[in-house]
Chain A
Amino acid sequence: MSWTFRKLVPRSAALILVILTLAAAIAFAAVSHLVSRFTANQQARGRKLYAQGLAEVSAARYDDAINAFRAALTCDPTNSQYQLSMARALRDSNDPRRLDEAESYLISLWQRAPQDAAVNLALARVAARRGSIEEATLYYHNAMYGVWNSDADTNRNKARIELVQFLLKRRAPDKAESELMALATSLPPDPAAHLQAAQLFEQAQDYPNALAQYQEILRLDPENSSALAGAGQAAYRSGNYATAQRCLQAAVNANPQDDNSRQLLATTDLILRANPFHSHISDAERNRRITTAFDQAEKRLAECAQQTGVDLKIPDSITASPLSSLQSRWMAAKPDLARLHSPGETDLPDSIMDVVFQIEQQTSALCGPPRGLDLALSLISQRREAASQ
């Protein structure tokens, strides 16, 4: 090379730096142009591959979807939408090895936008797949309190419902219940939303709150047969038999095909008719109910003894059967029935009914679930036990 740049320009360091700056600026502009064109091409290619990936996801072909999203990401590596879809495909592919990679995509998205509710929800679902209650709860909460692009309230409730379902699945009803309480306060006046909440309360075995949700539905839609049936069942399970009777009756009237409600109604009627501890009955009626229950207990005991091949005539010291022991207790209590009418025998109803309840409980354990009046007496027993605790 016979010439150099230095021979063409004045030998001034400052001028050389100015020229170098200009040259750098020109090169910068040229590379900018090149990069923007290349990037535009790549983005177009990426969009095509992304659409292909989405199609594969909707056809549940997750392996192909992952390949397509991966290729889309090589074209446009920083595209958050691609990364999120990739993470979802990896998560939903049912390959536990892919959860790490899904999480990695999501974590990088989360680091860029920790407030993004969709990313937090996706992370929560990954954690839920792993069965991590703590992590999943954290991300579900982030999603609930994060920023949603649209329909924020609905999405927040959906996220909370998802969290409740996860917690119920992981057998954490206490945590689920507290989430449900929060959910109940934020539900819109929509029967469907309240119905879902009520069903979740039922799954969490929180029947009083389930009943409250059903009642809210009935306030919005008094003819809602599902809510009537649900309210009846929730009231029944929570021991509120008067309400249960009213709701179940209305449910059966509204939908005569509802056998479950009909069956529960029958049991509820029996409970209400057989309960000797009901406060608004006369002494005579109470004594009649105690006598009926006592007789029913004997029948149940005899049936159970026959079913299990125990001879109740043989003393319990010989058979060593709990049924014989119950028979002995029943025989010992029988003379007390006659004294029910005597004034001053205030403890007698309780002691007689204790024998009845013991017989019903033990026979349930030995001879299978009770039916009819036995079932009613068992439920009265449980309710009384719960009330005393």
Chain B
Amino acid sequence: MSNPPGIGPAARNSPSLPQAPIARLQIPRRLFSSLEGVFNEELFFLILSVFIGIFSGLAVVCFRLAIDWTHLALLGALPQTHSWRLFAVPSLAGLVVAALVLHVFPAIRGSGVNQTKAALYIFNGFIPFRTAVGKFICAALAIGSGQSLGPEDPALQIGAGIASALGRQLEISREKLRLMAPVGAAAGLAAAFNAPISAVLFVIEEVIGRWSAGILGSVVLSAVSSVVIVRWFLGSEPLFRIPVTTFKNPTELLAYAVLGIVGGLASVVFAKSIGYLRPRLKALPRWTQYFQPALAGLLVGLIAFLGAPQIMGAGYDSMDQAMHGQYAWKVLAILAVLKIVATTFSFVSGTPGGMFAPTLFIGAMLGGAVGDIEHIFFPQLTGSTGTYVLVGMGVLFAGFLRVPMTSVFMVLEVSGNYEIIVPVIVANTFSYLVSRGLQSIPIFDLLTRQDGLILPSLEENREETILRVEDAMLPVPTTILNAKDYVDANARRVQDSPDSTFLVRMHPSGWGTVSRDQLQRFFHEGKGELTLSSVLPPQSLPSLYPDLPLDAALRYVNVCPLVPVVNRADSRHLEGVISRDSVFTKYGSPQTVAGG
């Protein structure tokens, strides 16, 4: 590398919106001069991703300890039903959390996924470190005290906050700084979930919102390094003990499809409840916000006090028990309903905390209940309750969070069992389709829009009509000139043509253009006896392929009046041509405007 690379343009920090980066820094060759040649910005960013993973992993380890410690200190190791603590603790903790959110950490409401996405698309990757600290403290207090929320989404935001702070401190380029948030988010989520593949997919599906090869390496590196850290400290035990899962008979897919439909409906109920209540509670006078988390805590506590303490906190222990057939179907169904109620109120009250774990909980209970009911009517079904519980988790993930790929890989990664991949795919697909049919906007997009932001989503991208070159392509012109022919012969050929510009087949390969005026000028200059190739200025006309996005044609149509569209298998075979008018006509067509 001849030019000693720098780390990149510096980004100035601002509490609200970061400014454009200053000029690229050149690293002086003084210290570590021999190493300097090795680092370019891309490589440095990759290495930095590993450090982001390490720091995020360490932070998440502390976060999980904080939740456990809070839980033990406030509720005890062996919570007793009908104990006053069950409703007193989450209520009082709710008051403290509300005060902290309103006065110290105003940007930490909710799960953190949208904030991270907003950082990527609006704030140039800027997430105040204070937000990460606030999220850590308040989410630990809320979840540890029993609010029906999970630690994964806050861990995602903590990771993103650490990454963003590190990026700003190192003054990396704005382009890279913007990408720091998803890299950190993947690390935080992977550490909290102990599932790197799911974390990477979720960040791509939900945070970045598009497939981007440029960032994939960094996201994977940070996710893997954070998981290594978490496993180092907390062990590699999965979140739940996976029971023996079986799938023997393909006809049982019908049973899983039913689970998918039920899960899809439950997802819609859950999402609509949040979508309906959240703006209404936010619209209440500010003083009520001091009490909203406390009231949500009181509701959760009362449910626990009255006999369902399983709904408190993330609920992984209860999922574990459901997976091992510890609850009858009625209990499972009741727990699913109660968890929807508890999580909805915990979340819409503005308490910081995530929806991953509650979603898994609801799915697990629903899956177990549906599986058990199906077993009552069809005793020949071979899938165990544990199998339905596992599939149910994916179903809610697909239906509620609307991340179909993550939902499949999450179940596979958590269970480590590929035998159930077909039931998972079938059930998740049904759930996703039912949810999408009944609730057009995914939950995270809905929350973003309620906050007045419009951010891109993978689901939108998937549904977007992509215009291709073939859509604007004109037919092959009737007159195509040959560069080997004489100028006068070519001039005679264009005499009766209405066109003003003509394609020229060059030799041995390639295409060119010539206008009627140019041909006439050559003729009048006495070059009629010369071949067209000898008089034409050297040119290399770009060619397009029919399957390319139409955007690719835009860069040529202003320079070249006609752009040949050729076959990928034979570049001398002309499929059609593209002109400026044909491209803009296509972009301006009502169908395109409506579709785009």
Could you list which residues of chain A lie within 8 angstroms of chain B, going by C-beta atoms? 1, 4-6, 10-18, 20, 24, 27-28, 31-32, 34-35, 38, 42, 45, 49, 67-68, 70-71, 74-75, 77-78, 97-98, 100-101, 103-105, 107-108
Contact = CB atoms under 8 A, between A and B. Distances in A.
B6 A11 contact: yes
Nearest to A45: B77
Contact of B77 (A16, A49, A97, A104): A49
A100 B368 CA distance: 14
A71 B7 contact: no
Contacts of A68: 78
Interface in B254-292: none
Interface in B168-214: 168-171
B78 A31 contact: no
A78 B235 contact: yes
B55 A24 contact: yes
A100 B7 contact: no
Interface string B487-519: 000000000000000000000000000000000
A31 B171 contact: no
19 contacts: A1-B13, A11-B25, A13-B35, A13-B36, A15-B31, A16-B7, A17-B44, A27-B54, A31-B61, A31-B233, A38-B68, A49-B77, A71-B77, A97-B325, A100-B243, A100-B325, A104-B243, A104-B324, A107-B244
Point out which of A27, A49, A77 has the most chain B C-beta atoms below 10 A from its C-beta: A27
Nearest to A105: B241
Contacts of B36: 12-14
A35 B35 contact: no
Given A24-B55, A28-B58, A31-B61, A14 B31 contact: yes
Interface string B221-255: 00000000100011101000111100000000000
Contacts of A100: 243, 324-325, 384-386
Nearest to A75: B77
A195 to B, nearest CB: 41
A14 B32 contact: yes
B123 interface: no
Contact of A98 (B32, B65, B326): B326
Nearest to A97: B325
B10 interface: yes
A10 B326 CA distance: 60
Interface string B519-541: 00000000000000000000000
A4 B168 contact: yes
B237 A77 contact: yes
Contacts of B233: 31-32, 35
The 4 A-B residue pairs with the shortest CB-CB distance, nearest first, are A14-B32, A101-B324, A5-B169, A14-B35
Given A4-B13, A71-B77, A45 B324 contact: no
A114 to B, nearest CB: 16
B62 interface: yes
Nearest to B57: A31
Contacts of A42: 68
A103 B58 CA distance: 34
A187 to B, nearest CB: 37
Contact of B39 (A13, A35, A70): A13
B321 interface: yes
Interface of B: 5-7, 10, 13, 25, 27-28, 30-32, 35-36, 38-39, 44, 47-48, 51, 54-55, 58, 61-62, 65, 68-69, 72, 77-78, 168-171, 229, 233-235, 237, 241-244, 317, 321, 323-326, 384-386
Nearest to B47: A17
A4 B169 contact: yes
Nearest to B169: A5
Point out which of A31, A32, A70, A77 has the most chain B C-beta atoms below 10 A from its C-beta: A31
B108 to A, nearest CB: 19
Contacts of A105: 241
Point out which of A1, A4, A13, A77 has the most chain B C-beta atoms below 10 A from its C-beta: A13
Contacts of B237: 77-78
A72 B77 CA distance: 8
Contacts of A5: 169-170
Contacts of B55: 24, 27
A108 B171 CA distance: 48
B27 A101 contact: no
B369 to A, nearest CB: 15
B30 A45 contact: no
Given A35-B65, A100-B243, A104-B324, A67 B25 contact: no
A31 B232 CA distance: 11
A142 to B, nearest CB: 18
Given A31-B62, A35-B61, A12 B235 contact: no
Nearest to A101: B324
Nearest to B15: A1
Nearest to A108: B241
Contacts of B385: 100
Given A16-B7, A16-B170, A101-B321, A38 B31 contact: no
Contacts of A67: 78
A10 B35 contact: no
A13 B243 contact: no
B169 A6 contact: yes
B326 A12 contact: no
A12 B65 contact: no
A5 B129 CA distance: 14
B61 A12 contact: no
B131 to A, nearest CB: 14
A70 B65 contact: no
A47 B242 CA distance: 25
Contacts of B10: 6
B7 A34 contact: no
Contacts of B38: 14
Contacts of B171: 4, 6
B228 to A, nearest CB: 12
Given A13-B27, A74-B77, 12 more contacts: A1-B168, A4-B171, A11-B7, A12-B28, A13-B7, A13-B35, A15-B32, A24-B54, A31-B62, A32-B233, A78-B235, A97-B325
A49 B79 CA distance: 13
Contacts of B35: 13-14
Contact of B65 (A16, A38, A101): A38
A28 B228 CA distance: 12
Contacts of B25: 11
Nearest to B7: A13
Nearest to A5: B169
Nearest to B79: A71
Contacts of B28: 10-12
Nearest to A35: B233
Nearest to A70: B317
A6 B11 CA distance: 11
Contacts of A104: 241-244, 323-324
A119 to B, nearest CB: 14
Contacts of B58: 24, 27-28, 31
Contacts of A16: 7, 170
Contacts of A4: 13, 168-171
Nearest to A10: B31
Contacts of B69: 38
Contacts of B326: 97-98, 101
B102 to A, nearest CB: 24
A60 B536 CA distance: 101
A108 B240 CA distance: 11
A39 to B, nearest CB: 9
Contacts of A70: 317
Contacts of A34: 62, 65
A101 B77 CA distance: 21
B535 to A, nearest CB: 55
A24 B51 contact: yes
Contact of A71 (B54, B78, B242): B78
A256 to B, nearest CB: 58
Contacts of A15: 31-32
A107 B323 CA distance: 14
